[in-house]
Amino acid sequence: VESILVNDGSVFELDPRVRSAHTPTCLVLRQGERTVLISLLRDGSLHLDNAKELENQGYGTMGARKIFEHPELMEALFNWSPEPELNFFEEQFGSLLKGRGLDVGCGNGRILLPCVLQRGWCVDGIDESLSSTRWVQSKLPSSNGCRIFRARVEYFCSPNSYSYAFACMNSIRYLTSMHQLRAHLGSLGNSVIPGGAYLFHLDLRPDPATPYRSSWDFAWEGRPHRATWLLHSFDHLSSQIIEEVVIEDVERQVEVTREYQRQGYFPIATLLSLFRDGCPWKLEATFDDRFERASVDREARGNFWFLLRRVS
Ligand SMILES: C[S@@+](CC[C@H](N)C(=O)[O-])C[C@H]1O[C@@H](n2cnc3c(N)ncnc32)[C@H](O)[C@@H]1O
């Protein structure tokens, strides 16, 4: 179980470190040495009081505690220039930019807003975060016709509405299984016109269980902070990576937040097999993080861009 419906209509997302088992009437959760048994309602949902209690005990969240639910924090955290990505889109999408585009997992609009406000492109955005979609919409002039949807990328579909689409900064790896990735490519294939293009950015590694860690400093609420992203664990059975994200207030020497994020691991051979027969996309080219053409093989390591062409 990754998430469960709450009887007020919200969703309780389990902390990725929590092990779970459920019957039609109850849910058993194990976190380290602690185990809890929760009764479910008749329709299989979780009572709001139980969801709140589980959240307090650290078994998961109803959303508000997630970094991606805080667009102001994301803006401070990912404050690097969007120009290189925008220039890359100009090169790769060319005349398709005259049509409507889609930012897949647009977050706080780091890329979408400069596309629209600086380059004058017409770009819609989708993201699962309600607060981020509201934030992005509030920054767009009401007259410009760009639409922001709260939607999950694996299901969103608006037939033949887009000439091009892009997914920056590894948004795709938040799809937690190969079937979610297949669902995404299928529904986006329906949304993009034949001849249209999709550029997505993805971290590749041949050895998903090997530890990694990267840190950078940023300013937040007028004080220096540090963000660290590291591997918490890799689950061979589900082929999922659990990443740990820590944000510290450097001046006050306090931890502001620690979050565990569930991500899919897509081995390159399996990924490439997706673009064979029956897929609405053809893989046209791959590029490295410096936007230079680079082929990917089983040993590929680092961030790559995949350029897909929508076949008819
Ligand atoms: C690393 S952020 C990248 C944001 C943006 N693409 C950028 O380059 O700044 C990943 C974003 O993907 C969104 N996301 C993750 N899983 C999603 C899903 N299944 N459907 C829609 N959005 C999702 C998150 O809410 C978050 O805003």
Span from the CA of 39 to the centroid of ligand 1 (angstroms): 32
Q: What is the mean pLDDT of residues 256-279?
A: 91
3-class secondary structure for 250-291? CCCCEEEEEEEEEEECCCHHHHHHCCCCCCCEEEEEEEECCC
Q: Where are the beta strands (DSSP E) in 105-181?
A: 122-127, 148-150, 162-167
CA–CA distance, 119 with 87 (Å, rounded to integer): 10
Q: Where are the beta strands (DSSP E) in the chain?
A: 3-5, 11-14, 19-22, 26-31, 34-39, 60-61, 100-104, 122-127, 148-150, 162-167, 192-204, 213-220, 223-235, 240-249, 254-264, 281-288, 302-310
Atom of ligand 1 nearest to the CA of 74: 9
- C-alpha dihedral, 140 to 145 to 146 to 148, nearest 10°: 90
Nearest CA to ligand 1 atom 10: 171
- In this predicted structure, the answer to whether residue 65 has a pLDDT above a threshold of 80 is no
pLDDT at 94: 98
Protein residues with CB under 6 Å of any ligand 1 atom:
68, 78, 105-107, 110-111, 127-129, 132, 152-154, 168-171, 174
- In this predicted structure, the answer to whether residue 63 has a pLDDT above a threshold of 80 is no
Span from the CA of 66 to the centroid of ligand 1 (angstroms): 12
- In this predicted structure, the answer to whether residue 143 has a pLDDT above a threshold of 90 is no
This prediction has a pTM of 0.93
Q: What is the mean pLDDT of residues 197-224?
A: 96
- In this predicted structure, the answer to whether residue 282 has a pLDDT above a threshold of 90 is yes
- Strands 302-310 and 192-204, sheet pairing: antiparallel
Q: What is the pLDDT of residues 85-140, one digit of tens each?
A: 999 999 999 999 999 999 999 999 999 999 999 999 999 999 999 999 999 999 99
Atom of ligand 1 nearest to the CA of 78: 9
Span from the CA of 74 to the centroid of ligand 1 (angstroms): 11
Q: What is the pLDDT of residues 155-209, one digit of tens each?
A: 999 999 999 999 999 999 999 999 999 999 999 999 999 999 999 999 999 999 9
Measured CA angle at 134 (ends 173, 128), to 5 deg: 25
Atom of ligand 1 nearest to the CA of 104: 6
